[in-house]
Amino acid sequence: MAKITLERLAHSYQKNPQRDADYALRPLNHVWEDGAAYALLGPSGCGKTTLLNIISGLLQPSEGRVLFDDVDVTTTDTAKRNIAQVFQFPVIYNTMTVKENLAFPLKNRKLDSAYIEKRVAEIAELIDITDELNKKASDLGAAEKQKISLGRGLVREDVNAILFDEPLTVIDPHLKWQLRTQLKALHQKVGHTMIYVTHDQTEALTFADKVVVMSEGQVLQIGTPTELFDRPEHTFVGFFIGSPGMNVLPGKVSGSTAKVAEHEISLPQNYQEHQGTIEIGIRPEFIRISDDTSGLLVDVLRVEDVGHYQIVRTQLITEGNTFAINVIVKEGVEITDGMRYLHFEPEKINVYVDSWLVSGGRDEEDC
């Protein structure tokens, strides 16, 4: 087990990257704490697999260093890094039995056969596959196969980290949920550092202690699921996490007053004057819709009932542009014709300048 440090790490598939867009992974510094569970979350092509492959050593970064427990492993071969990886599609050795699959990494290290036998039995127990040990690995279903590839990583006691590259892609939906829970429990039991790449926020938020949100080769925010929900540091994070995502509206902020389309909202904090595009972010959970005319007037488009709650889709037309605003309302509340006014919870409003979060101060002097 190890702490993994990324130092000024960046990667470009081009020879001489000039612009930010030339980078598959833009420069970043980060420390992955020993024994924690991380998720790398972002849409397809955001650079998360590139980052994962750099950590596993399948890819050489073009800039920066990777350290395992303060040892520079940037140029160390994958085999010597002693990590485990579970791929998008199950990778198993088809001609071997489940047992032989699990024993394979240990056999390659020429370990004692009695030890191998014992260790394989332990791991099989741990991943709940003891009954299948003598079956041919190719006869199993996708979920079992993924368990085996995970098992091949766990079987090495001193493994530095376990990396997951969208491991549930080919798993049936009802097994997905089950495997996810098992994985979480497993992490608590074995305590390895785990890094889990996914584009699915539910997977990321349920699995990880800390989630790293990426977009276009850039790490936007690293934080706990609560932090990502309450204080998204970038409008993309706010929008990407949550269902529906955060509403982002153009506005003006002066002092402790925010203004959205002539509608004034008083904020609990004071803000400095900022250059650039100012936006107001508010999650649908923290907007109330009513017939109280002191709110922001919008057009209600439709109401969707999604079970535990309803989503009210509205739109605001200001300065010739149309902005969608989603509002979450508890189930059973009837939305009448007159309910066209939105009230924002001031505490939950985030202010963004050029898409990045800015914080305000309590007092005038802080500004």
Cβ density class 248-279: b for 16+ within 10 Å, e for less: bbbbebeebebebbebebebebbbeeeeeebb
| Comparison of 58 and 353: residue with beta carbon closer to another protein | 58
CB of 65 to another protein, least distance (A): 12
| Comparison of 75 and 336: residue with beta carbon closer to another protein | 75
Residue at 118: amino acid letter: K
Write the DSSP symbol of residue 294: T
Binds another protein by CB under 8 A, chosen from 13, 89, 115, 356: 89
CB of 55 to another protein, least distance (A): 12
What is residue 105's three-state secondary structure? Answer: helix
- For another protein, which stretch binds (CB under 8 A), given 26-34, 101-109, 124-132, 298-306? 101-109
Distances (CA, A) of 104 to 14, 18, 98, 151, 165: 37, 44, 10, 11, 21
What is residue 131's three-state secondary structure? Answer: helix
Q: Let me know: does 36 contact 193? Beta carbons within 8 Å.
A: yes
Binds another protein by CB under 8 A, chosen from 15, 16, 18, 77: 77
Calpha distance 338→320 (Å, rounded): 24
Angle, helix 98-108 to helix 142-154, in steps of 10 degrees: 30
| Comparison of 41 and 106: residue with beta carbon closer to another protein | 106
Binds another protein by CB under 8 A, chosen from 91, 121, 261, 311: 91
Residue 208: half-sphere exposure toward Cβ, Cα within 13 Å: 30
Please report whether residue 96 would count as binding another protein according to CB under 8 A: yes
Supply φ then ψ for residue 234, to 5 degrees: -140, 145
Q: Let me know: does 75 contact 55? Beta carbons within 8 Å.
A: no
Taking the alpha carbons of 143, 144, 146, 147 in that order, is the dihedral positive or negative? positive
Residues 215-274 that bind another protein (CB under 8 A): none
| Comparison of 93 and 323: residue with beta carbon closer to another protein | 93
CB of 319 to another protein, least distance (A): 47
CB of 60 to another protein, least distance (A): 7
- For another protein, which stretch binds (CB under 8 A), given 79-87, 201-209, 264-272, 316-324? 79-87
342: its two tokens:
């939105």
| Comparison of 59 and 300: residue with beta carbon closer to another protein | 59
Residue 302's DSSP bridge partners are 313
CB of 74 to another protein, least distance (A): 8
| Comparison of 9 and 267: residue with beta carbon closer to another protein | 9
- For another protein, which stretch binds (CB under 8 A), given 26-34, 120-128, 145-153, 273-281? 145-153
Binds another protein by CB under 8 A, chosen from 22, 27, 34, 58: 58
Please report whether residue 76 would count as binding another protein according to CB under 8 A: yes
| Comparison of 77 and 131: residue with beta carbon closer to another protein | 77
CB of 179 to another protein, least distance (A): 19
Please report whether residue 83 would count as binding another protein according to CB under 8 A: yes
Calpha distance 47→36 (Å, rounded): 21
Q: Which residues bind another protein (CB under 8 A)?
A: 56, 58, 60, 74-79, 83-85, 87-89, 91, 93-96, 104-105, 108-109, 149, 152-153
